[in-house]
Amino acid sequence: MTRRATPAAPTGGGGPVRVLVVDDSAMMREVLRQGLSRDPGIEVVGLAASAAQAAEMLSDRAVDVMTLDIEMPQLDGLSFLRQLMAGPRLPVVVVSSATQSGAAITLEAMEAGAVDIIGKPCLSVGTGLGAILPELCDRVRAAAGARVARGGAARGPLAAAMAPRPVRPAAPGPRPPAAVPQILGIGASTGGVQALFEVLAHLTVPVPPVVVVQHMPEGFTAAFARRLDAALPFEVAEAQDGEPLLPNRVLIAPGGSRHMRVEGRAPHWRVALVEGAPVSFSRPSVDVLFASLAERAGGLAGAALLTGMGSDGARGLAAIRRAGGMTIAQDEASSVVWGMPGAAVDLGAACQVLPLDRIARALAGDPASPPPRPARPAAVEGQTDEG
């Protein structure tokens, strides 16, 4: 994944973000120390080679964010994270390799309370740091302002729902056709693993075609799709180029070097994975996906922009609103980071601003959903993307 976002403000009254780096590899600890220390808004306050050493450091120094390796000897990173989340809240950014086992364990860590993922760089000390420095520092700075939920020591919502669920019948009674989207788009970033599951788990079968951009490093989205597929009463898969969009099927954009677009016309939509420079500092970009939904589905589309840093998706959501589609932004209180949905609200792109637990019902056009909160008209026609 290639991504760069507007950095979050440091915590501590304007002081630097204090970071503890935890990794059993001396080389990786030094790579992360060098990369983070080049940002004047970040101070590396400790390097720990094990969970035990990290726990000792946490007891005697102030730490705003911890970066955590998952695959470590003795007490592994996931077990340590679960213990940590039983106590005072601390934002944790997982630094993990994208091996099959590494990706699966990393997703468990996200369910347990970690706020973000950074792909582990395969670098030598002093080489290539410029390539990862912006994303590394931005993620850590954003994590410093993240809301960390308690109770992460228990099994997360995905792990608790791994047993297949029974297919839920459609809600009885007719609905106004114009109020029911025929295709759904969802965008998320920091904090999105649990948020996305919350929304998908409360969609009522039959579900219209769903396309998703969740910012993740390359190699993690396939494992994420498999976990969702096992937990939900409809199919979830990593998108393939040219794949048709079908009811009761969710396609997640692969992390990496391509954007995902919707092509075709209703009801024969399909996905296209296309090369291109980052848009809104992201690739794949929510803005690219949402803009294609506005173009190809117009008023038939419904879209939700969930928790995440930066502003990716705000302009695309505005395009869907202008085209007559339903647009929703997650509210600040329920967001881990109110960057992307907050940018959409500022832009007037959201028809409704809702807490996470109400978004699925609103996307389904449920008449029992609470009335929309006022949002400014999306008067952004003609604006260009600077990302």
Tell me the two tokens of residue 123: 């670098």
Split at pLDDT 50, 70, 90, the class of 167 is very low
| pLDDT at 120 (0 to 100) | 77
pLDDT tens string 66-75:
999 988 888 8
Separation between Cα atoms, residue 328 and residue 353, nearest integer Å: 6
Split at pLDDT 50, 70, 90, the class of 11 is very low
Q: In this structure, are 133 and 279 located in the same domain?
A: no
| pLDDT at 159 (0 to 100) | 44
Minimal CA–CA distance to 261: which of 249, 247, 243, 274?
A: 274
Question: Domain containing 76: what range?
Answer: 2-144
Q: Domain boundary at 129, 144, 159, which? A: 144
Q: In this structure, are 69 and 190 located in the same domain?
A: no
Active site residue 202: no
Active site residue 69: no
Split at pLDDT 50, 70, 90, the class of 136 is confident
Q: In this structure, are 105 and 21 located in the same domain?
A: yes
184: in domain: yes
Q: What is the CATH number of the domain that holds 50?
A: 3.40.50.2300
Split at pLDDT 50, 70, 90, the class of 113 is confident
pTM higher than 0.85, yes or no? no
Q: In this structure, are 17 and 137 located in the same domain?
A: yes
Catalytic residue among 39, 96, 116, 189: 189
Q: In this structure, are 19 and 98 located in the same domain?
A: yes
Q: In this structure, are 192 and 312 located in the same domain?
A: yes
384: in domain: no
Catalytic residue among 96, 215, 282, 335: 215
Q: In this structure, are 90 and 187 located in the same domain?
A: no
pLDDT tens string 353-372:
999 999 999 998 875 555 44
Separation between Cα atoms, residue 290 and residue 311, nearest integer Å: 13
260: in domain: yes
| pLDDT at 341 (0 to 100) | 97
Q: In this structure, are 234 and 90 located in the same domain?
A: no
With beta carbons less than 8 A apart as the criterion, state whether 102 and 94 touch. no
374: in domain: no
Q: In this structure, are 126 and 261 located in the same domain?
A: no
Q: Domain boundary at 144, 161, 195, which? A: 144
Split at pLDDT 50, 70, 90, the class of 153 is very low
Which tops the pLDDT comparison, 99 or 122? 99
pLDDT tens string 177-193:
346 899 999 999 999 99
Q: In this structure, are 133 and 260 located in the same domain?
A: no
Q: Measured in whole angstroms, how far is the alpha carbon of residue 339 from the centre of its chain?
A: 11
pLDDT tens string 203-236:
989 999 999 999 998 889 999 999 999 999 999 9
181: in domain: yes
Task: Calculate mean pLDDT across residues 85-106.
Answer: 82
pLDDT tens string 315-363:
999 999 999 999 999 999 999 999 999 999 999 999 999 999 999 999 9
165: in domain: no
| pLDDT at 125 (0 to 100) | 45
150: in domain: no
CA distances from 287 to 33, 39, 304, 386 (A): 33, 28, 12, 12
| Contacts of residue 21, Cβ cutoff 8 Å, sequence gap at least 6 | 29, 32, 33, 36, 44, 46, 47, 48, 66, 67
The answer to whether residue 262 scores a pLDDT higher than 70 is yes
382: in domain: no
Q: In this structure, are 176 and 124 located in the same domain?
A: no
Catalytic residue among 287, 312, 331, 369: 312
Number of structural domains in the chain: 2
Q: What is the CATH number of the domain that holds 298?
A: 3.40.50.180
Q: Domain boundary at 127, 144, 161, which? A: 144
Q: In this structure, are 204 and 304 located in the same domain?
A: yes
Separation between Cα atoms, residue 111 and residue 105, nearest integer Å: 10
- The residues facing 90 across adjacent strands are none
